[in-house]
Structure 1
Amino acid sequence: MIPLVAVAHGSRDPRSAASIHSLLAVVRSLRPELDVRGCFLDLCAPRLTDVLHGPSVVVPLLLGKAYHARVDVPAAVAESRVPAVVTPVLGPDPRLESAALRRLSEAGVDFDDRSLGVVLAGAGSSHAPANEAVAAVARRWARQSAWAGVEAAFASIASPSVPEAVARLRARGARRIAVASWFLAPGLLPDKVSAAAGDALVAAPLGNDVEVAQLVLDRYDEALARQTVAA
């Protein structure tokens, strides 16, 4: 069976790698017969080139198609010189939204609170379509929820910032604020979001949510199906 090689960005924060390994433990529990290998693009080991030893399906553990997905992952696969197929990133997908909403619920958010404003906080990118994908989720939540409003915000590069999004929500009448996480794992940028959120409720990153784990497997299965058709 062709291995599933899951590659995350990587962080100096040990919580990040621990969260990725926890997610992959759920992936393995869903498909025990599958060889699932975890690795990172940078800052911690093992690297992608350390675990690519033959035909593989590489699943980027990235929520959006920004620089790492468009440049870093393909470059690392090319460097390995093995016949590996790279799948699309995890997002967009409704299961990511479900996971983010579950994390909000775990943080104590009342989904029927009409005075609540929700900030959906992501990393931010110089690649505008990656930011727009997060904003599209926020607009969808705004249409579908009873909340006073939902705003996308970004930890770096893009705008609005978390404080700017909070100010917009308060101007629209929100009396309480919650921050939803559009991050897979803890680290520098999620910590920056938490620090900027003030007294708001802040949800945890998506982490080892079972729907995220299933999404990783679906990306793998879809890649295998495409290869079979192509063959």
Structure 2
Amino acid sequence: MTTLVACSHGTRSPAGRTVIARIREAIARAVPETTVREAYVDVQQPEVADVVTLTAAQGPVVVVPLLLSTGFHTGVDIAAAVAPHPAAVAAPALGPHPALVEALRDRLAALSAGDAGHRPGDHLVLAAAGSTDPAAARAVEQMRDLLAARVPCPVTIGYGAGCDPSIPQAVAAARAAGARRVIAASYVLAPGHFAGLVRTAGADLVSTPLGDHPAVVEVAAERYRDAAAELLPTPATASHRPPTPRT
């Protein structure tokens, strides 16, 4: 059986830990054909490298990053965790993905009688954690484009760290451009440090983290199954294996 290692960042927030646990539980229900193990790249234990080493000794392993964008943790921490093990592979980060737009829209719909982003003068700031990795910024920009195609108001980006503009800068720029109401669309998974930065950035409305929204679970399951397929021989490969010698 292939093991799914659900690897999140780690947080000191009790509420954030609860939400990540709910995401793992939902993933386990979505992919009952596998065992789901927890792992982290920072703050919490067990560390992803230790979990992969233990589980790879028992069979194939797919690490699914519970992270919304690529960056240092996917390109270095998780990549280094799977590199020594031929039967281990890392799936891509959850985003960008069109399904996550539905999660963002549902979280926005929970604000202000469901009209967030639909009033004249509204402006959305897609508020992401951020990274110094340029690929992470490109991933967030793709999510901004996907979201902008589904809402009738302008959408810009603000980052919690790693690159500019910061979330408060993006909020201020939206107001300076004439926005009557600035809404921060929280592009984070769970309560914690970055969710706090979004909440205190000065927007008029702030959506809640994506959490265990069905779209998040759907994307995680898709990432797992696509990556797991890389570990299994294709029918063509299997058909060209030499026959087992008879004794």
Q: Same fold (TM over 0.5)?
A: yes
Give me the TM-score of the superposition, normalised by structure 1: 0.89
Alignment of 1:19-58 (within 5 A): 19-52=19-52, 53-54=55-56, 55-58=60-63
Partner of 1:181: 186
* 1:83–1:139 distance in 2 versus 1, CA, 3 Å: closer
Q: Which moved more, 1:135-144 or 1:49-58?
A: 135-144
Displacement after TM superposition at 1:137 (Å)? 2.6
Q: Can you give the 5+ residue segments of structure 1 that lack an aligned partner in the other structure?
A: none
**Does the 8 A contact of 2:64 with 2:93 survive in 1?**
yes
**Does the 8 A contact of 1:57 with 1:223 survive in 2?**
yes
Displacement after TM superposition at 1:176 (Å)? 1.0
**Does the 8 A contact of 1:114 with 1:146 survive in 2?**
no
Partner of 1:164: 169
Cα deviation digits, residues 124-176 of structure 1 (max 9, x gap): 111122112213332443354222x2110001121111222122222332111
1:127 to 126, 130, 133: 133
Quick check: which has more Rg, 1 or 2?
Answer: 2
**Does the 8 A contact of 1:107 with 1:204 survive in 2?**
no
Amino acid at match of 1:45: Q
Amino acid at match of 1:2: T
Q: Can you give the 5+ residue segments of structure 2 that lack an aligned partner in the other structure?
A: 238-247
Q: Secondary structure at the match of 1:58?
A: strand
Partner of 2:243: none
Q: Secondary structure at the match of 1:196?
A: coil
* 1:107–1:46 distance in 2 versus 1, CA, 3 Å: farther
Provide the alpha-carbon RMSD of the alignment: 2.0
Alignment of 1:100-139 (within 5 A): 100-108=104-112, 109-110=114-115, 111-139=117-145
Provide the rounded CA distance (Å) in 1 between the counterparts of 2:30 and 2:228: 17
Provide the rounded CA distance (Å) in 2 between the counterparts of 1:44 and 1:129: 25
Q: Secondary structure at the match of 2:34?
A: coil
Aligned length: 228
Partner of 1:153: 158
1:71 aligns with 2:71: no
Displacement after TM superposition at 1:213 (Å)? 0.7
* 1:84–1:139 distance in 2 versus 1, CA, 3 Å: closer
2:215 to 199, 211, 218: 211
2:230 to 222, 226, 229: 226
Q: Percent identity?
A: 37
Provide the rounded CA distance (Å) in 2 between the counterparts of 1:77 and 1:221: 17
Amino acid at match of 1:156: A
Partner of 1:87: 91
Displacement after TM superposition at 1:8 (Å)? 0.7
Give me the TM-score of the superposition, normalised by structure 2: 0.84
Amino acid at match of 1:142: A
Displacement after TM superposition at 1:82 (Å)? 6.8
Amino acid at match of 1:227: L
**Does the 8 A contact of 1:150 with 1:169 survive in 2?**
no
**Does the 8 A contact of 1:139 with 1:151 survive in 2?**
no
1:195 aligns with 2:200: yes
Provide the rounded CA distance (Å) in 1 between the counterparts of 2:149 and 2:63: 35
Provide the rounded CA distance (Å) in 2 between the counterparts of 1:226 and 1:76: 17
Amino acid at match of 2:143: V
Displacement after TM superposition at 1:119 (Å)? 0.7
